[in-house]
Amino acid sequence: MTSPSRVLVIGIDGVRLDVLREVRTPHLDAVAAEGFLAPVRIDDATPTWSGPCWATVATGVSAARHGITHNVFTGHRLAEHPDFLTLASLAGKRTYLSVGSWEPLATAACGGPLFAAPDRVTFTSYGLDCERGDEAATVDAERELVAADYDVAFVYLGDVDETGHELGVGAEYRAAVERADARVGRLLATVRARSSYAEERWTVIVVTDHGHVDAGGHGGDSDLERTAWIAASGPGIVAGAEMGTLRHVDVAAHVYEAIGLGEAMAGLPLEGKPFASV
């Protein structure tokens, strides 16, 4: 019997790469040490809003195809370009979504949900108290990732972005990045504590959608806003290897490849490719 291949994707909203490299993030550092941490340039046709950027991550196609250009998803073409949790579920995989705070990822608010039909959805919101929402999303994932055998999970953390909007990129923002890293650490520990972990092949992908200007906020064309990043480790990812140009569309392609659906999805108009070193 082949060992089950599983994927955990953690989406942390609005984390600037330069700040990430300055603050204390031991758990993300560990993922990077076992694999890579590399910048992603948001393409010029995609506004640096969460809606279009997360849609590109989830669907593996750019805004011209998925049709989401802002944080209201009305007019989207997600039915033609579904998210990777939904397509993995349709292909027989078990999938899980845990979202703190931001409704359109998981609910019908604002034209959502981006993730249409995962097997299990947990949505926890405390309004603009994203820190509390992130904690609830993490606690739920700590339970679910042990209680069930998910092939693909996506956990979303929104506190860093909200802190940036409210307070700018300062001490509080930096502290929020460190809090997010602590939650990454708890999720990784949960996966490693699975009784069957030794027989499983886990891929971990951590990704942000966009950056922030110093005063807090995004949506513009500055390098600070257009620079996102991906960190990942797992089977086929060589530790410390130099990566080629990475794009948000590569996340879905890598997820499919990692769970053995690369060929099954070959007929889709996916724009990305699995992560590969140069």
Q: List contacts with Zn ion (CB under 5 A).
A: 161
Residue 148 near residue 96, CB atoms below 8 Å: yes
DSSP letter (8 states) at residue 126:
B
How far apart are the C-alpha atoms of 25 and 37, rounded to whole Å?
12
- Comparing every residue's Cβ against Zn ion, the nearest one is 161
Work out the widest C-alpha separation in the chain, in whole angstroms. Answer: 54
In the complex, least distance from residue 167 CB atom to Zn ion, rounded to whole angstroms? 13
Beta carbon nearer to Zn ion, 35 or 112? 112
Distances (CA, A) of 60 to 7, 20, 116, 148: 16, 25, 15, 26
In the complex, least distance from residue 123 CB atom to Zn ion, rounded to whole angstroms? 18
Beta carbon nearer to Zn ion, 30 or 110? 110
In the complex, least distance from residue 65 CB atom to Zn ion, rounded to whole angstroms? 23
Helix axes 171-192, 130-147, angle to 10 degrees: 10
- Per the document, the length of the chain is 278
In the complex, least distance from residue 58 CB atom to Zn ion, rounded to whole angstroms? 17
In the complex, least distance from residue 91 CB atom to Zn ion, rounded to whole angstroms? 32
Beta carbon nearer to Zn ion, 142 or 161? 161
Beta carbon nearer to Zn ion, 170 or 260? 170
Contacts of 133 (CB under 8 A, 6+ apart): 100, 101, 124, 125, 126, 158, 159
Beta carbon nearer to Zn ion, 165 or 194? 165
